[in-house]
Structure 1
């Protein structure tokens, strides 16, 4: 397993990975179409959003984005290709992201979580602090979570 910074030319592949990961939860095509813009990374997003990937045997197995400026940031994405679920990839990505966040001086990381991933973030030590409206689906809310790095 290799953790590295994402490359700008990988933006399309990362966007497709995020959609595959979202689809894993059983959402229909209409729902996924509504989420496409939200889950799309543009080449300029890759560097500006501090995007890191995990590679296994030369294939991208997952990625995260770490957004914002210290002291408070946001885990904007954390997606795992469904082919690589249940292999510790999520935990590795999380630990890497929180290590980078600490190095950059973040005190708090906020997460607007995929509802099906809330239990994962709770297991990682985050707490649910409320809800936030979905940017893609009117009337839908996402768990708003917080992780304190200190």
Structure 2
């Protein structure tokens, strides 16, 4: 309801802000309900994840979720597959347009991912040797404190 001395434009702006706030609260509650449903009633053949793991996804960044799903994947995954794995594992819907910049950062800034152009798949670099090969292609990795093959993650 419009307040006294409130213009139509002010009223519409106020209502828009109220609805956006309510929507954010409802989306948060919906994510919590989805996580709880997965714990209580897992899909056939799936084991229920502990509630703590499900609720942890509420605090995880997209980059953290990408690393987690690729850590538990065999071989490389397409961006679309990663979106599906995040939804399946964490119950979080990540827009493809939000995922792409994070994949690039994990590859270029963090040095944790590699991209296979031929297969259009992303893979987690699991060892220091893998990271060195990606950061300096064609050069042999110099010896470091970490033994070859020791997992980074």
User: Same fold, TM exceeding 0.5?
Assistant: no
Between Structure 1 and Structure 2, the one with more strand by share is 1
Between Structure 1 and Structure 2, the one with more helix by share is 2
Greater radius of gyration (CA)? 2
**TM-score, normalising length: structure 1:** 0.29
Higher relative contact order at CA 8 Å, sep ≥6: structure 1 or structure 2? 1
